Structure 1
Amino acid sequence: MTDSRDDNASGKPLTGAGRSRRDVLRFGSIAALGAVLGGGALLGHATPALAQAGNEGELAPNDPLNILIVNYDGGTLLDFAGPSEIFHRLPNTNVRYASLHGGSVNLEFGVVYGNTERLADIEKTDMILVPGGSDLTAPMRPAYQAQIRRLAESAKYVTSVCNGSLVLAATGVLKGKRSACHWAFINKLSEYGAIPVPDRFVEDDNGRFMSGGGVTAGIDFALRVAAKLRGRQAAEFTQLVIEYDPAPPFHSGHPRDASPEIVAMVDKELPGASKGLARIPGVR
């Protein structure tokens, strides 16, 4: 996979050849979106609403927002791909990706992701996002933990998706803080001093700490973050652009809804899952 950082982070105008579908649908490209969807009416209604959107969020419309997504070997692509899709479309928002050594990382299922920056080269960020993974060995090592702790301590917003909250909790920054996690691992948060909350989205300290539950919760999490920081209308606009209109074919996404037989199958694969205490590589 190639470097997926913001193609126009420098602010230089794009040529016609360089304007991708992402650029056309990006939050700021209102005129282009109106043309694509054929909507004089859409454009007429959307522009004033979007102009007010930033006033609803914590950040002013022109306030920049720098988001850092931590990557590592064994990470789960969807944990950060969903939030990345949303964050890239918000105005005045720069999304970066970093790993301990920079370059490519080998995600779950053999997905190779790069080019990431080196964590040590990043002085600070407004928001840090730690996604989860099927193997947390790498981000639980001291060198990774030190960099994540350093950046989290100075960040305005400290966030995670899935069992990425275990990685954050292991650094100590979530001690005494409420946090979400994948249902199979959620009660392991207390072993690091965090307070497990079995919700799809959790915040603490007036939103300085925000977290999403399992893998797919990353999209819901990111929309909630977008609404908090950039305003509800900005979040709703982005939700419509990406057509996030979930209609799952089965109601089996959480133990509270799944049949006992399905829960038992997961428990066999991940012993202790139904108690929120499943073991995962890298976590003691």
Structure 2
Amino acid sequence: MTDQSKNKASSEQLDKSGHSRRDALKFGGIAALGAAVSGGALLGGMTPAFAQTGSKGELAPNEPLNILIVNYDGGTLLDFAGPSEIFHRLPNTNVRYASLKGGNVTLEFGVVYGNTERLADIEKTDLILVPGGSNLSAPMRPEYLTQIRRLSDGAKHVTSVCNGSLVLAATGILKGRRSACHWAFVNKLAEYGAIGVPDRFVEDDNGRFMSGGGVTAGIDFALRVAAKMRGQQAAEFTQLVIEYDPAPPFHSGHPRDARPEVVAMVDKELPGASKGLARIPGIR
């Protein structure tokens, strides 16, 4: 049989098994993770892979971690989709999604995200994540803020991505705390008593409060959280599995790098953005 024939036969066999390349990455990654956590049984009982790193997480591999992601109409999909991709791959980690009334929420650009739980039905969580959005009118409503504050008070870790930190700040829980935010809104945090920091990842109170900058920073944020919770090697494993190897075609992701005329374009769309004082619906 020729090499070409062998490859074709191998491909057909894979197709018949019903597994795509992404399936292989997903299930193969989970299997590899399980083997590492269980102590490498296939390698003769070697030391668990994640225990070999010098940076251990707060939790033992067999200790459960419950994560709650808050959803709302007008939210940005990537703010929580990136972190979700990482969190779901961590061992013994349960990720839940909730909104004020439960069910479907309509995100930015009309994307419908469904089957969320009702915030009031969730008693507590270990970690709460509030993502940002192009319209914060929904999460800034008193009934939303009440539920977010209740769950934040009982959580070991309170986190946000992008301008989701403005929602947390509006509950009062970030008063006097350092927090990241999208660069266009970071200075609005001061209006709620929080301390805006223009970094991609910000930690306060020994990691009880963790936050990421704008949109794509959610992936960096989640990897940092993963390392803190499960150890550096678990985070590195997850980063490799999802091939997070950023190589942006342009250095235009932040005003400090973007060309002045591009910054001016954003300022025209979002007045005050370059000063970190842009306004969006829901921000009073």
TM-score (norm 2): 0.86
Match of 1:215 in 2: 215
Aligned to 2:245: 245
- Give the secondary structure class of the aligned counterpart of 1:221: helix
Partners of 2:194 and 2:211 in 1: how far apart?
12
> Residue deviations 1:164-215, cap 9 Å, x none?
0000000000001000000000000000000000000000000000000000
Q: In 2, distance between residues paired with 1:33 and 1:84?
A: 22
Q: Residue 167 of structure 1 corresponds to which residue in structure 2?
A: 167
Note if contact 2:86-2:238 (Cα within 8 Å) is conserved in structure 1.
yes
Any gaps of 5 or more consecutive residues in structure 1? Answer: 1-15, 35-42
Q: Which residue of 2 aligns with 1:194?
A: 194
Distance 1:151 1:32, change over 3 A: closer
Secondary structure (helix, strand or coil) at the match of 1:113 reads: strand
Unaligned runs of at least 5 residues, structure 2: 1-16, 37-41
| Change in 2 beyond 3 A, CA 1:30/1:166 | same
Secondary structure in 2 matching 1:56: coil
| Partner Cα separation in structure 1 for residue 81 and residue 118 of structure 2 | 19
| CA distance in structure 2 between the partners assigned to 1:209 and 1:31 by the alignment | 27
Aligned pairs (5 A) from 1:115-194: 115-194=115-194
AA partner of residue 172 (structure 1) = G
The answer (yes or no) to whether the contact 2:55–2:232 under 8 Å persists in 1 is no
Contact 1:175 1:192 in 2 (8 A): yes
Aligned residue for 1:98?
A: 98
Equivalent residue for 1:24? 27
Amino acid at match of 1:222: A
Tell whether the 8 Å contact from 2:79 to 2:218 is kept in structure 1 after alignment: yes
1:138 Cα deviation from its structure 2 partner: 0.1
- For the residues of structure 2 that align with 1:242 and 1:17, how far apart are their CA atoms? 21
How far did residue 50 of structure 1 move?
3.0
The 1:178–1:25 alpha-carbon spacing in structure 2 relative to 1, beyond 3 Å, is farther
Corresponding residue number in structure 1 for 2:261 = 261
Q: CA deviation at 1:61?
A: 1.4
Whole-Å separation in 2 of the counterparts to 1:116 and 1:90: 21
Please report the RMSD computed on the Cα atoms of aligned residues, expressed in angstroms. 2.5
Corresponding residue for residue 10 of structure 2: none
SS in 2 for 1:250: coil
**Residue identity in the other structure for 2:216:** T
Residues 26 and 88 in structure 1, CA contact (< 8 A), matched pair in contact too: no
Task: Choose 18-27 or 256-265, whichever is displaced more.
Answer: 18-27
Q: Aligned equivalents of 2:28 and 2:172: distance in 1? A: 39
Q: Quick check: 1:55–1:61 contact (8 Å CA) kept in 2?
A: no
| C-alpha spacing 1:271/1:224, structure 2 compared with 1 (3 Å) | same
SS of residue paired to 2:280: coil
Letter in 2 for 1:188: K
Question: How many residues get paired?
Answer: 260
C-alpha displacement at 1:271, in angstroms? 0.2
> Which residue of structure 1 lines up, in the alignment, with residue 62 of structure 2?
62
Q: Deviations over 1:194-253 (max 9, x none)?
A: 000000000000000000000000000000000011000000000000000000000000
The Cα of 1:66 is off from its aligned counterpart by 0.1
Identity within the alignment, %: 81
Instruction: Tell me the TM-score normalized by structure 1.
Output: 0.86
Deviations 1:87-145 (A, max 9, x none): 00000000000000000000000000011000000000000000000000000000000
Aligned to 2:62, the other structure's residue is in SS state coil
Taking the aligned partners of 2:252 and 2:159, their CA distance within structure 1 comes to 26
Provide the rounded CA distance (Å) in 2 between the counterparts of 1:55 and 1:202. 19
Deviations 1:54-108 (A, max 9, x none): 9701111111000000000000000000000000000000000000000000000
Q: Provide Cα deviations, 1:136-167, integer angstroms capped at 9, x if missing partner.
A: 00000000000000000010000000000000
Q: Which residue of 2 aligns with 1:205?
A: 205
Q: 1:31 to 1:87 in 2, by over 3 A?
A: closer
* Cα offset, 1:48, TM superposition: 3.9
User: Which of these two proteins has the greater Rg computed from alpha carbons?
Assistant: 2
